[in-house]
Structure 1
Amino acid sequence: MSDKKSRGAWGSRIGYILSTLGMAIGVGAMWRFPMLTAKYGGGAFVLAFFLISIIIVIPAAWGEVGLGRHTKSGVAGALESLAGKKGKVIGTFIALIPLLLMFYYPVIMANVVQYIYYTVAGSPFLADPEGFYNVVANNKIVVFLVVAGLDILTGVICLGGIKGGIEKACKILLPALFVILVVLVVRICTLPGIMEGIEFYVRPDFSQWANPKLWVEAAGMALFAIGCGPGYLITFGSYCSDKADIGTDLVTVNITQMLICVLSGFAMIPAVILFGMNPDAGSGLIFMVLPKVFEQLAGGPVWLVFFLIALLFAGLSTTISAWEVPVTVLIDSFGMKRRTAVIIVTLVAIIGAVPCIWISEFLEHFDYLVGTFLYTAAATGLAVYLAWFYKAKRVREEWINPTSVVKYGAWEDVLYKFLTVPVFIYFLATGFIGFFS
């Protein structure tokens, strides 16, 4: 386990919050959330996502951040301190989930980089977005080279550590992302006739709630968006000071990431409906549908570049955070130097991207496996252990309340044990069935 005295730490409270937001707000918020919202009936999915994020996910997220701060170690070392060698093995497997995410996440970002280039270069792809997307996606060598470049860039940033790498980068990327999104949303929401699209986005069709997969996807998205499950929150919590108000800070992060998800949806879905596009375009929604949307706007290419830059910023903030989870485990639990750990993680990510680039339809199936099933599995396992074996009361009284402005009562223990855990188990079982079906 790591030496607590020599360990790095966040430079400031706002740095920690922005870095955690950088982990939470990524291509998941700007690509995955709009894609799933469109697929599951607009407002019905948005409301389900809100309910799960606010009521069910927060207690589990508190437990994970508290565990990280208490042990001052990454996920493998944190679980080792509670459950011995078995805990270390489980924690090491959990740390692999962000690494698996990085097998396909930069592939999406590589397409974003190419679209920025082609838009600035004035390529006439707006005339046939579907055909152009297929050409870009099928140019495997170029995609691989861009993915490798993004992975290397991420690794270089991670060499700077928590304060000099992640925190510094997110202080720049996150404010820029927010400003770009707000400008885009204002522009799109002032389009003539946009109310029909906004209505689709915000008005829930409650008949959609009868579909169990909507709830499973909403749960996976809620966990994905806050980083609950695969070691992000434990890792980031491990760099918090013993005086940090992690309870309030995490609520702030959760509310803000939900706002970004909503803004991302507003920047896409209402306009898609307005212009009669297909909202259920899957992973190609951004690349096949949005160019048609921006084509209808005055100065369309400029707006498209703004959106793509925002998407790239979001992606980088998340990849930087994802790198840190396995890197921290290699440093804390296996005694590696940061440089060696970063090089290993970067090389594995580059090699792992190969099937996601070259095997057709692999990406979306892999996204469900990692972003929904494995996230839920890890979050469920951690929640069961912390709420029932370590005890929810101890989590609240020893890890959260001592430094929190708000002193939470026993109701939070009840919520954690009797709502969060059973719901997680249900979502895990349903997701397991859905994966194999």
Structure 2
Amino acid sequence: MKGDIMTEKNTLNAKPRDIFSSKFGFIIACIGSAVGMGNIWLFPYRVGQFGGAAFLIPYIIFVALLGMSGIVGEITLGRTMRTGPLGSFKKALEMRGLKGGEFIGLIPVIGSLATAIGYTVVMAWVLKFFIGSVSGEMIKSEDSGAYFGEIATDFGSVPWHIIVLVVTFAFMAFGISKGIERVNKVLMPLFYLLFVIIAIRVAFLPGSGAGYDFMFNPDWSALANPQTWVFALGQAFFSLSLAGSGTVVYGSYLSKKEDIVSSAKYIAIFDTLASMTAAMVIIPAVFAFGTDPTSGPPLLFITMPSIFKAMPLGQIIAIIFFLAVMFAGFTSLVNLYETSVEAIQNKFGLSRKISVGLILLLGLAVGLFIENGDTVSTWMDIVSIYIVPLGALLAAIMTYWVCGKNFARENAQIGREKPIGRWFEPLSRYVFCGVTIAVYILGIFYGGIG
């Protein structure tokens, strides 16, 4: 029945709730939230920094561990409580006769909104470079660093900033099944397709073979370096969008007919494929042109444009590259803003369009003042080091400890035919919670690990 597919009655709240129309729609939306700048500008750098393919061993171990514990837990909490972190934390504490859940739930909501605000600034830069690639302005500029510097200044990208928010508003205003789900179903397959096209082109560049040798001939000695494991953990943790926010919210829109464990597995797999695809583009390209695979904005907005300028058919490749990055960015952005949109919509009973409009106006009001490259970098460091992992830890504690020993297993089992194995409680209650504490402490010690 259509009503069973598109909306469900909240068992803890009688209001009908828009949900994802299919398991595929949910999975691809979660993949869209996970795949973002970290896959593109940080993962290739980490591979280069820590032994090439050797880095993949701890990375894949942590992705599997976090996927089967962290992602499963956040989806389960959201689906069971039928609300985001604000409402979920409140209901979790009320199960114990305690109050203050909404106050604690503000932490992941603030973390998600703050991340979205900083991410919007970066997306404004991406949009500028995409338009510059289409017009040829970016390719014709003599100095890629100077071209980037023109917009990475105070109030340097205001029109692009506004356009990004308007487009995001348009995507989100139509709701979950008709808005966010449909957008992800189009943009995420296109992201993978476009990056595969670029990877094929890069493979024919003279000198690109050295990049493949570097990636697939691992330096096993890197595994003896503790930092390899620390930064592999950080890369996996942040790439999977574990924050106690967006995944909880998306989980709240998931039908109880769907298999959470299976969904988490596919999210982890395709997020890893996105990272590998980006590495297959960037590492061979930087070897072919003898440049440095610097992490962060310099890679995306200085190194790669310099490579495109020197590459045959570089303008076309630049257009495809920044279009793909833009697709990944928008799918992440709608997830980041959705946490706070859901919070005020659920808390104050406002319409979706008003809620989206209020949050995006708030995002613009704050974001305009951090458009400077140094400012937004500091902003994102503070959020990712101090707020995001704390939100993930709080969600884990609520799911695996406050709600009771059997809460996660019993609710994650709903919609799944095969019984969840005995591994689940030790992995989730002890290993995942311990690892999340480690991410928080190590992030402070190293000044960020993801």
TM-score (norm 1): 0.91
Report if the CA contact (8 A) 2:67-2:265 is conserved: no
Report if the CA contact (8 A) 1:213-1:434 is conserved: no
Residue-by-residue CA offset, 1:190-248 (whole Å, 9 max, x unaligned): 33332221233344445545665554443343233222223111111111111111211
Q: Distance in 1 between matches of 2:405 and 2:447?
A: 30
Residue aligning to 1:315 = 329
Q: Distance in 1 between matches of 2:447 and 2:388?
A: 13
Residue aligning to 2:85 = 75
Residue aligning to 1:381 = 394
1:199 aligns with 2:216: no
1:242 aligns with 2:266: no
Partner AA of 2:58 in structure 1: A
Q: Distance in 2 between matches of 1:36 and 1:326?
A: 31
Q: Distance in 2 between matches of 1:351 and 1:187?
A: 41
Secondary structure class of the residue paired with 1:7? strand
Q: Distance in 1 between matches of 2:204 and 2:418?
A: 40
1:17 aligns with 2:27: yes
| RMSD of aligned alpha carbons | 2.4
Residue aligning to 1:129 = 144
Report if the CA contact (8 A) 1:95-1:325 is conserved: yes
Residue 150 (structure 1) shift: 0.7
Percent identical residues: 26
Partner AA of 1:71 in structure 2: M
Residue aligning to 1:420 = 432
Q: Distance in 2 between matches of 1:141 and 1:362?
A: 11
Residue-by-residue CA offset, 1:163-197 (whole Å, 9 max, x unaligned): 12101111111111111011111221233332221
Secondary structure class of the residue paired with 1:21? helix
Partner AA of 2:403 in structure 1: Y
Q: Distance in 1 between matches of 2:216 and 2:383?
A: 28
Q: Distance in 1 between matches of 2:368 and 2:216?
A: 38
Residue aligning to 2:274 = 260
Q: Distance in 2 between matches of 1:351 and 1:201?
A: 43
Residue aligning to 2:66 = 56
Residue 373 (structure 1) shift: 4.1
**For the structure 1 residues 4 and 312, does the alpha-carbon distance in structure 2 shift closer, same or farther, using more than 3 Å as the test?**
farther
Residue-by-residue CA offset, 1:70-95 (whole Å, 9 max, x unaligned): 11111111111111332111112211
Residue aligning to 2:109 = 95
Report if the CA contact (8 A) 1:291-1:304 is conserved: yes
**For the structure 1 residues 436 and 419, does the alpha-carbon distance in structure 2 shift closer, same or farther, using more than 3 Å as the test?**
closer
Residue aligning to 1:276 = 290
Q: Distance in 2 between matches of 1:222 and 1:233?
A: 15
Q: Distance in 1 between matches of 2:42 and 2:364?
A: 22
Unpaired segments of 5 or more residues in structure 1? none
**For the structure 1 residues 217 and 342, does the alpha-carbon distance in structure 2 shift closer, same or farther, using more than 3 Å as the test?**
farther
Partner AA of 1:377 in structure 2: L
Q: 2:411 aligns with which of 393, 399, 413?
A: 399
Q: Distance in 2 between matches of 1:103 and 1:44?
A: 35
Residue 38 (structure 1) shift: 4.3
Partner AA of 1:110 in structure 2: A
Residue aligning to 2:348 = 334
Residue aligning to 2:133 = 119
Report if the CA contact (8 A) 1:97-1:370 is conserved: yes
Residue-by-residue CA offset, 1:353-401 (whole Å, 9 max, x unaligned): 134213x5222233233234432222122223433343454312x1122
**For the structure 1 residues 404 and 105, does the alpha-carbon distance in structure 2 shift closer, same or farther, using more than 3 Å as the test?**
same
Q: 1:409 aligns with which of 395, 418, 421?
A: 421
Residue aligning to 1:182 = 196
Residue aligning to 1:431 = 443
Q: Distance in 2 between matches of 1:248 and 1:436?
A: 31
Residue 313 (structure 1) shift: 0.7
Q: Distance in 2 between matches of 1:417 and 1:60?
A: 10
Residue-by-residue CA offset, 1:254-285 (whole Å, 9 max, x unaligned): 10111011101111122112321012254211
1:362 aligns with 2:375: yes
Secondary structure class of the residue paired with 1:367? helix
Q: Between Structure 1 and Structure 2, how many residues are aligned? A: 434
Partner AA of 1:406 in structure 2: K
Report if the CA contact (8 A) 1:47-1:204 is conserved: no
Q: 1:8 aligns with which of 15, 18, 28?
A: 18
**For the structure 1 residues 147 and 210, does the alpha-carbon distance in structure 2 shift closer, same or farther, using more than 3 Å as the test?**
farther
Report if the CA contact (8 A) 2:442-2:448 is conserved: no
Q: Distance in 2 between matches of 1:58 and 1:144?
A: 41
Q: 1:390 aligns with which of 376, 386, 403?
A: 403
Secondary structure class of the residue paired with 1:6? strand
Q: Distance in 1 between matches of 2:204 and 2:141?
A: 22
**For the structure 1 residues 145 and 216, does the alpha-carbon distance in structure 2 shift closer, same or farther, using more than 3 Å as the test?**
farther
Report if the CA contact (8 A) 2:180-2:334 is conserved: yes
1:285 aligns with 2:299: yes
Q: Distance in 2 between matches of 1:65 and 1:296?
A: 45
Q: Distance in 2 between matches of 1:142 and 1:364?
A: 15
Q: Distance in 2 between matches of 1:167 and 1:56?
A: 24
Q: Distance in 2 between matches of 1:290 and 1:399?
A: 45
**For the structure 1 residues 235 and 436, does the alpha-carbon distance in structure 2 shift closer, same or farther, using more than 3 Å as the test?**
closer
Alignment of 1:204-243 (within 5 A): 204-208=218-222, 214-243=228-257
Which range is displaced more, 68-77 or 273-282? 273-282
Q: Distance in 2 between matches of 1:210 and 1:347?
A: 48
Report if the CA contact (8 A) 2:18-2:176 is conserved: yes
Residue aligning to 1:160 = 174
